[in-house]
């Protein structure tokens, strides 16, 4: 059975995998390539019901809840301001900054005696019958019974585990995030999604009085290093100039941090594991943020993988883990790509078409949100 894991990547999947393995009685060390935190740390996201369920399985849900805001409902409006649908959540989703989640998870790992080493960029691995050795760019090495590769969308380990794996695919969308100083007119803790004529926009008023917003914008890959906050605001505003809903007002009122990124996905990875190494999170199955499930799927992966390694040796545990996860996550990636396709050209949907799509998506969301992980149930 596994006694020690080498975990590549100190983001959501890697750190929660370490904590879940600790609960399963398996030791680990996390190796993160960035000096502190990880990329895109200024952005925010929502951990949906299923993600919170995964956190609850390893006693982390209450900690994350203490450092996040509840999302109590969601409404969809057109660019003209007409409401198409609205629903409330009895419990579940939490919204927080990515950097805040990293800090919380790393603090919880430290409480459990889990070491996180920074500035450790993986360059190669050596695998044998007894375990695996990871070599980093600074010349140091790490040994373990298994290696868990949770090093993100542009994973180095993915190509090592599966040289024929396709690279991450640019989806044709950019995402821009910002934090406006004023609260919107709607009740706080309610997400509003605006289906504009040319792009999608979403925002939520949080209890500190701010409006946290994002936009998904069709277009070519951008030079992220060359964009100032004002250029990002102007770039995003141009997509909503013809809409009546005050999207441009919200964007331009932002006087602080604005973060933009190119969006990539990974529709499928042919092989998730070798005898001693396995992929988790975005390294295996990155999805666009259209369904808001990237963090939640990474959490599901981490907890499911820990259960498999708790109950089975790697040669059996890895295939079982892949069989439990592959169909679900690839379905999510495909669904997110389908949503993105509606934002990349063609005539805007009519209100009737938008309402029909919304009804179908709500049924799909039920399947997503009701996923439950029973930590105590043995894996066979």
pLDDT tens figures, 63-103 = 999 999 998 888 989 998 888 888 888 777 999 999 899 99
Tell me the CATH number of domain 4-70+93-168+266-345, given options 1.20.1730.10, 3.50.50.60, 3.40.120.10, 2.40.50.140. Answer: 3.50.50.60
> What pLDDT, on a 0 to 100 scale, did the predictor assign at position 340?
67
- Is the confidence at residue 368, as pLDDT, over 90? no
- Is the confidence at residue 290, as pLDDT, over 90? no
Q: Where are the domains of the chain?
A: 4-70+93-168+266-345
Mean pLDDT of the chain: 90
- Is the confidence at residue 275, as pLDDT, over 90? yes
- Is the confidence at residue 365, as pLDDT, over 90? no
> In percent, how much of the chain has pLDDT > 90?
71
pLDDT band at 186 (very low <50, low <70, confident <90, very high): low
Residues near 94 by Cβ (< 8 Å), separated by ≥ 6? 46, 47, 52, 64, 65, 68, 69, 70, 71
Give the start-end residues of each E strand in 164-257. Answer: 169-180, 190-195, 200-205, 211-218
Instruction: Calculate the CA dihedral of residues 370, 374, 378, 380 and round it to 10 degrees.
Output: 20
- What values do phi and psi take at 255, rounded to 5? -115, 10
Of 224 and 296, the one with more pLDDT: 296
- Is the confidence at residue 307, as pLDDT, over 80? yes
**Which pTM was predicted?**
0.92
CA dist 291 and 208 (Å) reads 26
> What pLDDT, on a 0 to 100 scale, did the predictor assign at position 349?
66
- Is the confidence at residue 39, as pLDDT, over 60? no
> In percent, how much of the chain has pLDDT > 70?
91
CA dist 75 and 28 (Å) reads 42
Of 342 and 58, the one with more pLDDT: 58
The crossing angle, in degrees rounded to 10, of helices 294-311 and 49-57 is 30
CA dist 34 and 51 (Å) reads 25
Q: Which residue, 303, 319, 297, 308, is CA-closest to 368? A: 297
């Amino acid at each position: 059975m596994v006694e020690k894991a080498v975990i590549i990547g100190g983001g959501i999947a890697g750190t929660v995998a370490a904590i879940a393995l600790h609960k399963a009685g398996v030791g680990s060390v996390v190796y993160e390539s960035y000096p502190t935190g990880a990329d895109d740390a200024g952005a925010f996201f929502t951990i949906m019901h299923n993600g919170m369920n995964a956190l609850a399985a390893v006693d982390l849900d209450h900690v994350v809840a203490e450092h996040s805001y509840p999302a109590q409902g969601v409404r969809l409006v057109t660019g003209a301001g007409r409401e198409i649908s609205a629903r409330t959540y009895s419990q579940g989703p939490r919204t927080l900054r990515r950097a805040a989640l990293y800090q919380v998870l790393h603090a919880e790992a430290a409480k459990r005696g889990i070491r996180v080493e920074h500035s450790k960029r993986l360059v190669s691995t050596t695998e044998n019958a007894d375990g695996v050795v990871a070599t980093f760019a600074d010349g140091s090495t790490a040994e373990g019974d298994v290696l868990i590769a949770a090093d993100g969308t542009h994973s180095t380990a993915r190509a090592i585990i599966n040289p024929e794996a396709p690279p991450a695919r640019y989806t044709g969308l950019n995402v821009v995030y910002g934090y406006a100083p004023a609260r919107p007119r709607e009740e706080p803790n309610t997400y509003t999604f605006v289906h504009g004529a040319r792009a999608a926009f979403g925002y939520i008023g949080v209890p500190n009085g701010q409006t946290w917003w994002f936009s998904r914008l069709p277009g070519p890959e951008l030079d992220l290093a060359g964009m100032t906050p004002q250029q990002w605001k102007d770039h995003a505003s141009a997509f909503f100039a013809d809409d009546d809903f005050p999207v441009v007002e919200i964007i331009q009122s932002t006087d602080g941090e604005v973060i933009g990124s190119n969006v990539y996905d990974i529709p499928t990875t042919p092989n998730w594991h070798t005898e001693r190494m396995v992929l988790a999170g975005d390294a295996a199955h990155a999805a666009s943020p259209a369904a808001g499930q990237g963090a939640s799927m990474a959490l599901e992966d981490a907890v499911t993988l820990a259960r498999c390694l708790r109950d089975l040796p790697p040669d059996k545990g890895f295939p079982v883990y892949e069989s439990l996860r592959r169909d679900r996550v690839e379905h999510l990636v495909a669904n997110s790509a389908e949503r993105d396709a509606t934002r990349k050209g063609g005539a805007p949907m009519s209100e009737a078409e938008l309402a029909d799509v919304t009804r179908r998506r709500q049924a799909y969301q039920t399947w997503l949100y009701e996923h439950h992980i029973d930590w105590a149930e043995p894996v066979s």
